[in-house]
Amino acid sequence: MPGQFDAAYQRSITDPDGFWADAAEDIRWSRRWDRVLDDTNKPLYRWFVGGELNTCYNAIDRHVDEGRGDQPALIYDSPVTDTITAFTYREMQQRIARCAGALVQQGVQKGDRVIVYMPMVPEALITMLACARIGAIHGVVFGGFAAKELATRIDDAKPKLIVSASCGIEGKKIIEYKPLLDQAIEMASAKPARCIILQRPQVEAPLVPDRDVDWNTAMETAQPVDCVPVAATDPLYILYTSGTTGVPKGVVRDHGGHAVAMRWTMKNVYNVEAGDVYWSASDVGWVVGHSYIVYAPLLAGCTTILYEGKPVGTPDPGAFWRVISQHNVKVLFTAPTAFRAIKREDPDATHLARYDIGCLKALFLAGERCDPDTLSWAQEKLGVPVIDHWWQTETAWAIAANCIGIEQLPVKPGSPTKAAPGYDVRILDDETGEECERGKIGNICVKLPLPPGCLPTLWNNDEGYISSYLSRYNGYYLTGDAGYQDEDGYLYIMSRIDDIINVAGHRLSTGGMEEILAAHPDVAECSVIGAADQLKGELPVGLVVLKSGVDRSETDIVGELVQMVRSKLGAVACFKQAVVVQRLPKTRSGKILRGTMKKIADGSEYKPPATIDDPAILGEIGDALGRIGYAKT
């Protein structure tokens, strides 16, 4: 007999119309759909065609109408400004309605684009939901993003309005946004008619006459407006994929399928319900922030936390435990890199003893592959299920997950468990396109159609959507990740397709090697890249960050690492070199920049990605690789 999860999964694949129609009953519609799935224009599928709704109504107003108006909707916790403020659903409704009125006052209408270039402050969420309220399309760009990259997004989205702030705060550093914004607008050919600027106490930004409007002034003079019904297939937002340069790839999210999927995941994936406190320790500049700081928790009637701080340094490695304890967090969702940072600074979790986190029922990790050592450390210290799940900017929610709200399955370290309902995941051979046998690494794909919530296309670029994701294998979405499926149907995401290296004709996963290196007791974090080699094509090179307090010779540690890989993978891996570094280059969302490090190792030209957290680190990586004979120009 199949278990509850297997039964739910099978129904989602064999009867997607019935499965998602049932899920859609949890959304309030102003007009019901004509068709659940429209497949008349393959491969461009659409969900809930003919339906009308308003995402802001479902996320905010509905809870007020249904008697939850006095429940906290949002808790703003900012250790960098020493501020904690809670907003009820009723208070959010009032603020969002007035913000929507301010947008209308500045000429924004249904279908217009609004770029949001803001730090982690409540006004960012309020603006996003205000756009949804009037049918405008928001495009959030990570606060502090480089002017050139912001300019390319302005030119692609052609916003009527930009909402920004005078500054952001990164740890102890103040980042002035206004000079970057002004420079981006000067560079862009598509000039916004207006900008609304939130003046923060830390920095007062000069306003450009006849273009810039002070946030408080705009709100004071605005009249609140009601929700506007929009088509289920209308765009809710555009989100540009991290690392994009040149012509941006703007992932589009629709209203109907997105609302249905987001609400469904809260109970079924995370096992949280209305009234529970849910914390996604991410940023609204990334898809995790869109999905699980803003939309999904509010659609489900939860209390969501907006955290303006870091896992360490604001003020110490106990920051996460303080937030969980103080706000009664039931589920935490963050990136593995956050826990690796905590583990590196406080390997014995001494700070955890200061807090009671008995309220925490589960920890979910995503964004980077979670190495088994980090997962085991978190399980041991927290005493709750630690669940790795896997998804992408393009999908908005988990492709693979241990759906604990349906049935909690056994955890296998290194695996995000099984494909989630709605995702028909297949492992296809790189060359033949045939389905791989269990245990063999191949390209991870999803048989079309993608479930609700996933991107229906790219902004103004159907052809780009098809060529980027749907053209490699007919009838499949190419995830860009490589991995395998075991005999129990568990997925293992080993690396990006580009990170599968070819060593003397053998296709090897850098992720598999990283898993081995991460198990070394002195290693806090690591990465493996494939460096060019004249004889073998590529050779694996490890870069490792040591735990705080480790005081052993690099030679001894590297020797142990080489032996560990050799004993686990054999001589075929040709793993012979590693180097200790102080830190790894990452995007602001925590992804390790393996491709950039490979270019450094090969002595190739490279451009620091716009999303890099700290460009100075690339010089350190070059010096380290130079010590072992790489990074030669």
| Cβ proximity of 115 and 141 under 8 Å | yes
Task: Identify the residue with better confidence: 81 or 494.
Answer: 81
- What per-residue confidence (pLDDT) applies to 435? 96
pLDDT-based confidence at 370, cuts 50/70/90? confident
Q: Where are the domains of the chain?
A: 4-309+389-483, 504-627
Q: What is the pLDDT of residues 139-163, one digit of tens each?
A: 999 887 888 889 999 999 999 999 9
Phi, psi of 599 (to 5 degrees): -65, -40
Q: Please give the structure tokens belonging to residue 310.
A: 């870091």
Class of domain 4-309+389-483: alpha beta
| Cβ proximity of 282 and 294 under 8 Å | no
Residue found by looking up tokens 């990452």 in the block:
586
| Cβ proximity of 452 and 258 under 8 Å | yes
Report the percentage of the chain scoring pLDDT > 90: 80
How far apart, in whole angstroms, are the C-alpha atoms of residue 576 and residue 561? 9
Containing 204, the helix (H) or strand (E) segment is: none
Q: Please give the structure tokens belonging to residue 354.
A: 């200061």
Asked if the domains at 4-309+389-483 and 504-627 fall in one CATH topology, the answer is no
How far apart, in whole angstroms, are the C-alpha atoms of residue 228 and residue 607? 43
Mean pLDDT of the chain: 93
| Cβ proximity of 92 and 126 under 8 Å | yes
How far apart, in whole angstroms, are the C-alpha atoms of residue 361 and residue 265? 16
Handedness of CA 284, 288, 293, 296 (dihedral sign): positive
How far apart, in whole angstroms, are the C-alpha atoms of residue 30 and residue 33? 10
Report the percentage of the chain scoring pLDDT > 70: 97
- What per-residue confidence (pLDDT) applies to 1? 55
- What per-residue confidence (pLDDT) applies to 297? 98
Does 504 have pLDDT greater than 70? no
Q: Please give the structure tokens belonging to residue 554.
A: 């690099």
Residue found by looking up tokens 């399980």 in the block:
379
Does 344 have pLDDT greater than 90? no
- What per-residue confidence (pLDDT) applies to 633? 61
Please tell me the least confidently modeled range out of 76-80, 243-247, 374-378: 243-247
User: 3-class SS at 452?
Assistant: coil
- What per-residue confidence (pLDDT) applies to 631? 82
- What per-residue confidence (pLDDT) applies to 353? 95
Does 372 have pLDDT greater than 90? no
CA distances from 403 to 231, 272, 410 (A): 30, 11, 11
- What per-residue confidence (pLDDT) applies to 246? 46
User: Under CATH, which number does the domain 504-627 receive?
Assistant: 3.30.300.30
DSSP assigned state of 573 = G
Quick one: how far is CA 126 from the chain centroid?
Answer: 20
- What per-residue confidence (pLDDT) applies to 379? 95
Does 545 have pLDDT greater than 90? yes
- What per-residue confidence (pLDDT) applies to 245? 38
Does 538 have pLDDT greater than 70? yes
- What per-residue confidence (pLDDT) applies to 407? 97
pLDDT-based confidence at 506, cuts 50/70/90? low
Does 589 have pLDDT greater than 80? no
Task: Identify the residue with better confidence: 540 or 369.
Answer: 540
Does 244 have pLDDT greater than 60? no
- In sequence order, the β-bridge partners of residue 35 are 49
Mean pLDDT calculated for residue range 607-627? 87
Whole-prediction pTM value?
A: 0.85
Please tell me the least confidently modeled range out of 371-375, 423-427, 497-501, 528-532: 497-501
Mean pLDDT calculated for residue range 319-334? 98
- What per-residue confidence (pLDDT) applies to 505? 56
pLDDT-based confidence at 301, cuts 50/70/90? very high
Q: Please give the structure tokens belonging to residue 78.
A: 């900012």
How far apart, in whole angstroms, are the C-alpha atoms of residue 284 and residue 289? 4
Q: How many CB atoms lie within 10 A of CB 36?
A: 23
- What per-residue confidence (pLDDT) applies to 243? 40
pLDDT-based confidence at 632, cuts 50/70/90? confident
Mean pLDDT calculated for residue range 83-91? 98
Please tell me the least confidently modeled range out of 1-5, 232-236, 428-432: 1-5
Angle at 358 between CA 354 and CA 362, to 5 degrees: 115
Residue found by looking up tokens 């010096």 in the block:
623
- As a whole number of angstroms, the longest Cα–Cα distance in the chain is 71
How far apart, in whole angstroms, are the C-alpha atoms of residue 231 and residue 259? 12
Mean pLDDT calculated for residue range 405-433? 95
User: Residue 336: how many CA atoms within 13 Å on its side-chain side?
Assistant: 26
- In sequence order, the β-bridge partners of residue 384 are none
The answer for residues whose C-beta is within 8 angstroms of residue 206's C-beta and 6 or more apart is 178
Does 231 have pLDDT greater than 50? yes
| Cβ proximity of 47 and 452 under 8 Å | yes
Please tell me the least confidently modeled range out of 320-334, 366-380, 419-433: 366-380
Q: What is the pLDDT of residues 167-226, one digit of tens each?
A: 999 888 899 999 999 999 999 999 999 999 999 999 999 999 999 999 999 999 999 999
| Cβ proximity of 114 and 139 under 8 Å | yes
Strands, E assignment, 320-392 = 331-334, 362-365, 386-388
Does 317 have pLDDT greater than 90? yes
- What per-residue confidence (pLDDT) applies to 247? 62
Task: Identify the residue with better confidence: 481 or 14.
Answer: 14
